[in-house]
């Protein structure tokens, strides 16, 4: 039931409004002047105030200001006599929802009341959604590593400097990028994310910079790119190391000059965009291999943030677990916990998928497992495949690589090992490996192996 406060010095008006509104199903409180009214607001939950503008002692406008200051979420409808409509208009400027003129038209009283309460409800909903989002955006972790990360976030957020976030899969790179944006002066402007790995090479330029009509087959209309969409705000280039070299060249110019042309266009477009990037690749290595432009790296990596893996900050596990358990608990139920034995396993586990893996594991266990305190057995079961696949620890090094990359990495390691074993004697090593010396020579060149004599 919505609750309404009527502040009016005329008893007859108080009575008649109270009757109508109670008939409509609202609970009504009454006050004869502003002081009394404000006192009621301090002690009672009220969603709407009907406020006479012409009051003894403290004038209606002052009461309104006080309400908007102290209880900003409460809506106020002002009641004015014909003689002081000016005051009522002024009241709306200060934040009143609308005004009623005396003599009161009862239909209008009811309609305005409904509308004002509707607005109040929407505002409340909005507020709840926002706080939920905030909850989703929390960054958990109190270890030294995370303190450092949080410190850099705080320091860099308000400047426009470019930040490059690195870290393994699922360590929270995107979360950090969003956090930086939310803490920056650009927080009310767009946050636009581009996953560079997910866009085919031939489309990435048009995705980033847009295209003119007819720029290529299929470009049937002008399209704005992400740089334009992010104007005034933040552009987050995720998986930035996966961008083609030609796209990198264009990005470099856009970053340097804050201007670019749409694909197939000649007009220069100026924007004001803050650039954040993330990658799980080792960019210096990519530069070495010729896959990433060094000049672009220096432009983007003004402030580096390196996220620790979960294994490196395993002390944060308990806090992370209660945070996610709280999130995943069914409505009205108590939050599940993990037994001591279960925790021991989780502490020992390697967490190759980091926080994302932890989150998925906990979600699974919340749905699948009936126990309130999750036993050691259940933890083993639901972590199951993961633990087993970890029995081949040698595999860990190759896990995040493409087959070709893994093969190359393995081949290089094997060659280095046998070369060393055989005192860097080429023909002997070739024999052990079962290949021709010429073949070994070319591999040594390919893999850039240093021969120590």
Ligand X SMILES: Nc1ncnc2c1ncn2[C@@H]1O[C@H](COP(=O)(O)OP(=O)(O)OP(=O)(O)O)[C@@H](O)[C@H]1O
Report the interface residues with Mg ion, using CB under 5 A.
Answer: 173-174
Tell me if 173 contacts ligand X by CB under 6 A.
yes
In the bound state with ligand X, the residue whose beta carbon lies nearer, of 3 and 150, is: 150
Tell me the C-alpha distance between 306 and 287, whole Å: 18
Shortest Å, Cβ 23 to Mg ion: 57
Tell me if 313 contacts ligand X by CB under 6 A.
no
Sole window of 66-74, 163-171, 385-393, 433-441 interacting with ligand X (rule: CB under 6 A) = 163-171
Tell me if 186 contacts ligand X by CB under 6 A.
no
Tell me if 167 contacts ligand X by CB under 6 A.
yes
Q: State how far the alpha carbon of 68 is from the alpha carbons of 39, 56, 61, 100, in Å.
A: 14, 20, 11, 19
Using CA atoms in the order 100, 105, 110, 114, what is the torsion angle rounded to 10 degrees? -40
Tell me if 309 contacts ligand X by CB under 6 A.
no
Which listed option, Mg ion, ligand X, none, makes contact with residue 167 (CB within 5 to 8 Å by class)? Answer: ligand X
Tell me the C-alpha distance between 293 and 277, whole Å: 14
Out of 314, 355, 440, 444, point to the residue binding ligand X (CB under 6 A).
355
Which listed option, Mg ion, ligand X, none, makes contact with residue 431 (CB within 5 to 8 Å by class)? Answer: none
Q: Kindly report the backbone phi and psi dihedral angles of residue 107, in degrees, each rounded to the nearest multiple of 5, phi listed first.
A: -60, -40
Shortest Å, Cβ 444 to ligand X: 34
Say what angle helices 173-183 and 144-157 make with each other, to 10 degrees.
40
Which listed option, ligand X, Mg ion, none, makes contact with residue 140 (CB within 5 to 8 Å by class)? Answer: ligand X
Contact track, ligand X, 112-141, x by CB under 6 A: ---------------------------xxx
Which listed option, ligand X, Mg ion, none, makes contact with residue 117 (CB within 5 to 8 Å by class)? Answer: none
Tell me if 169 contacts ligand X by CB under 6 A.
yes
In the bound state with ligand X, the residue whose beta carbon lies nearer, of 5 and 305, is: 305
Out of 80, 206, 234, 280, point to the residue binding ligand X (CB under 6 A).
280
Shortest Å, Cβ 412 to Mg ion: 29
Out of 113, 171, 366, 429, point to the residue binding ligand X (CB under 6 A).
171
Out of 32, 172, 210, 308, point to the residue binding ligand X (CB under 6 A).
172
Sole window of 170-178, 384-392, 407-415, 421-429 interacting with ligand X (rule: CB under 6 A) = 170-178
Shortest Å, Cβ 361 to ligand X: 12
Which listed option, Mg ion, ligand X, none, makes contact with residue 355 (CB within 5 to 8 Å by class)? Answer: ligand X
Which is nearest to 78 in space by CA: 69, 67, 122? 67
- Residue 36 burial (CB count, 10 A): 16
Residue number, nearest CB to Mg ion: 174
Contact track, ligand X, 359-378, x by CB under 6 A: x-------------------
In the bound state with Mg ion, the residue whose beta carbon lies nearer, of 173 and 178, is: 173
In the bound state with ligand X, the residue whose beta carbon lies nearer, of 226 and 359, is: 359
In the bound state with Mg ion, the residue whose beta carbon lies nearer, of 174 and 411, is: 174
Shortest Å, Cβ 310 to Mg ion: 15
Out of 162, 253, 327, 356, point to the residue binding ligand X (CB under 6 A).
356
Which listed option, Mg ion, ligand X, none, makes contact with residue 139 (CB within 5 to 8 Å by class)? Answer: ligand X
Residue number, nearest CB to ligand X: 172
Which listed option, ligand X, Mg ion, none, makes contact with residue 183 (CB within 5 to 8 Å by class)? Answer: none
Sole window of 57-65, 75-83, 115-123, 171-179 interacting with ligand X (rule: CB under 6 A) = 171-179
Which is nearest to 300 in space by CA: 312, 308, 292, 289? 292
Task: Kindly report the three-state secondary structure assignment for every residue of the chain.
Answer: CCEEEEECCCHHHHHHHHHHHHHCCCEEEEECCHHHHHHHHHHCCCCEEEEECCCCCCCHHHHHHHHHHHCCCCEEEEEECHHHHHHHHHHHHHCCCEEEECCCCHHHHHHHHHHHHHHHHHHHHHHHHHHHHHHHCCCCCCCHHHHHHHHHHHHHHCCCCCEEEECCCCCCHHHHHHHHHHHCCCCCCCEEEEEHHHCCHHHHHHHHHCECCCCCCCCCCCECCHHHHCCCCEEEEECHHHCCHHHHHHHHHHHHHCEEECECCCCEEECCCEEEEEECCCHHHHHHCCCCCHHHHHHHCCEEEECCCCHHHHHHHHHHHHHHHHHHCCCCCCCCEECHHHHHHHHHCCCCCHHHHHHHHHHHHHHHCCCCEECHHHHHHHHHHHHHHCCCHHHHHHCCCCHHHHHHHHHHHHHHHHHHHCCCCHHHHHHHHCCCHHHHHHHHHHCCCCCCC
In the bound state with ligand X, the residue whose beta carbon lies nearer, of 83 and 367, is: 367
Shortest Å, Cβ 342 to Mg ion: 28
Q: Which residues bind ligand X (CB under 6 A)?
A: 139-141, 167, 169-175, 280, 355-356, 359
């Amino acid at each position: 039931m919505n609750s309404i406060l009527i502040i009016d010095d005329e008893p007859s008006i108080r009575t008649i409004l109270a009757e109508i509104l109670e008939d409509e199903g609202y609970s009504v409180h009454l006050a004869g002047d502003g002081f009394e009214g404000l006192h009621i607001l301090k002690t009672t939950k009220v969603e709407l105030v009907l406020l006479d503008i012409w009051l003894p002692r403290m004038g209606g406008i002052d009461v309104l200001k006080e309400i908007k200051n102290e209880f900003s979420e409460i809506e106020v409808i002002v009641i004015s006599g014909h003689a002081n409509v000016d005051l009522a208009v002024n009241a709306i400027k200060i934040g009143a929802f609308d005004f009623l003129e005396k003599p009161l038209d009862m239909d209008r009283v009811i309609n305005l009341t409904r509308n004002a309460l509707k607005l109040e409800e929407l505002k409340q909903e909005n507020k709840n959604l926002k706080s939920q989002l905030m909850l989703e955006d929390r960054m958990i972790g109190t270890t030294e590593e995370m303190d450092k990360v949080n410190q850099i976030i705080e320091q860099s957020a308000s400047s426009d400097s470019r930040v490059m976030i690195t870290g393994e899969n699922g360590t929270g790179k995107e979360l950090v990028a969003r956090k930086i944006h939310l803490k920056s002066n650009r927080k009310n402007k767009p946050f636009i994310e581009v996953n560079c790995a997910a866009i085919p090479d031939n489309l990435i330029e048009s995705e980033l910079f847009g295209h003119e009509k007819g720029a290529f087959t299929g470009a049937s209309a002008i399209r704005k790119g992400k740089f334009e969409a992010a104007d005034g705000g933040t552009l987050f280039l995720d998986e930035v190391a996966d961008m083609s070299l030609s796209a990198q060249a264009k990005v470099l110019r856009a970053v340097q000059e804050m201007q670019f042309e749409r694909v197939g266009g000649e007009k220069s477009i100026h924007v004001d965009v803050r650039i954040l990037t993330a990658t799980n690749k080792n960019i210096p290595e990519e530069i070495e291999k010729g896959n990433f432009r060094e000049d672009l790296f220096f432009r983007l990596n003004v402030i580096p943030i390196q996220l620790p893996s979960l294994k490196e900050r395993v002390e944060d596990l308990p806090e992370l677990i209660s945070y996610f358990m709280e999130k995943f608990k069914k409505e009205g139920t108590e939050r599940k916990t993990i037994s001591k034995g279960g925790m021991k396993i989780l502490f020992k586990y390697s967490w190759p998928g980091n926080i994302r893996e932890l989150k998925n594991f906990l979600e699974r266990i919340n749905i699948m497992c009936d126990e309130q305190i999750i036993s050691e057995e259940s933890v083993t079961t639901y972590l199951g495949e993961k633990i087993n696949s970890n029995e081949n620890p040698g595999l860990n090094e190759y896990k995040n690589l493409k087959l070709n990359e893994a093969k190359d990495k393995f081949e290089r390691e094997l060659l280095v090992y046998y070369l060393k074993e055989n005192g860097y004697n080429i023909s002997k090593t070739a024999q052990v490996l079962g290949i021709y010396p010429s073949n070994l020579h070319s591999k040594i060149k390919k893999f850039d192996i240093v021969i120590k004599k």
